[in-house]
Amino acid sequence: MTEVIDCHTHIFPDHGAARIIEALQKEADNVPAYTDGTRQGLLDSMKKAGITASVQVPVATRPDQVETINNFAIKLNSPQIISFGAIHPQYLNFTREMDRLKTAGIKGVKFHPEYQDFFPDDPALFPLYEQLVALDLVAFFHAGRDIAFSGVHGTPAHFARLIKSFPKLKLVLAHMGGFQMWDEVKEELLGRNVYIDTSFSMDYMGKRTFNYFLEHHDCQRVLFGTDSPWTDQSAELNQLRGIVKDEDTLSKITFTNAKELLGMKP
């Protein structure tokens, strides 16, 4: 069986998952959830879809959430559910916390410019980025618009400036580099030293634009992601297989690229 890694999923503690899912649905114009938001819900979805491993990327919407979320991430982390950590731009003890995550085997951290109200290229964050580079941790960003917000902090232009300032940063931009900002992504990011993921994008950008991105960006820097529970993993994987006909390219997007980015053993 071909191995598949979904590099972009979300789960929540069992005791709060139902409440969190309900709140997020209301914020996002009642976008449906395809799992109950729990670890077991994700595992059931993965089994149905034939997905080997999922990367879950938590978001700290306040600085005081960081350590609690990371305690959960460390406990959750496993070969089947690879948990990233959370960080917030206003969290002050990032040096200690990044060291703790690295020691615990966490591969990266998630940023969300809209929920966290910051610009990715803000020089105030440069010391944090420097530590991520030093520790060889992945910086995973929500990129582009978010349907729960009217403005955009994480634009392709902001990320282009971040790439220029930190060319060695392992940077992943969700939603094909910038959700619903496809023209700007074409201009600012395609062909650059950055990973993009397919999450929550194929239905919105269309097959023609999606193929354009694959033709103009290094296929070794494209990752399969679903944003589960906000899309159905089975449907997203089948849709990608229907678009990408070259088996070698498909294998890179669905498995090899993520495996190498995460430093997973053979």
Structure tokens at 119: 């610009």
Tokens 């239905």 belong to 203
Amino acid at 81: I
Task: Report whether the peptide linkage leading into residue 120 is cis, meaning its omega lies within 30 degrees of zero.
Answer: no
Contacts with 130 (C-beta within 8 Å, 6 or more apart), sequence order: 166
Confidence of residue 265 (pLDDT cuts 50, 70, 90): confident
* CATH numbers and ranges of domains, the chain: 5-261 (3.20.20.140)
In this prediction, residues 51-69 reach a mean pLDDT of 98
Confidence of residue 97 (pLDDT cuts 50, 70, 90): very high
Distance CA 253, CA 225 (A): 9
Q: Kindly report, residue by residue over 164-218, the tens digit of the pLDDT.
A: 999 999 999 999 999 999 999 999 999 999 999 999 999 999 999 999 999 999 9
Predicted local confidence at residue 27, as pLDDT: 85
Q: How far apart are CA 81 and CA 9, in angstroms?
A: 9
Whether the pLDDT of residue 1 is over 60: the answer is no
| pLDDT tens by residue, 228-254 | 999 999 999 999 999 999 999 999 999
Percentage of the chain exceeding pLDDT 70 = 99
Answer for the pair 231, 209: CB distance below 8 angstroms, yes or no: no
- pLDDT confidence of residue 60: 98
* Structure token pair of residue 124: 């105030």
Residues 51-64, mean pLDDT to the nearest whole number: 98
**Burial letters for 138-159: b for 16+ Cβ neighbours within 10 Å, e otherwise?**
bbbbbbbbbeeeeebbbbbbbb
Confidence of residue 2 (pLDDT cuts 50, 70, 90): confident
For 44-77, b/e burial (b = at least 16 CB within 10 A) is: ebbeebebbbbbbbbbbeebeebbebbebbbeeb
Average pLDDT over residues 219-227: 98
Number of alpha helices (DSSP H) and beta strands (DSSP E) in the chain = 11, 9
Confidence of residue 266 (pLDDT cuts 50, 70, 90): low
Dump pLDDT digits (tens) for 201-211: 999 999 999 99
Alpha helical stretches, state H, the chain: 17-27, 39-49, 66-76, 94-103, 126-135, 156-165, 182-188, 202-216, 233-243, 247-251, 257-261
Q: Is the pTM of this model over 0.95?
A: yes
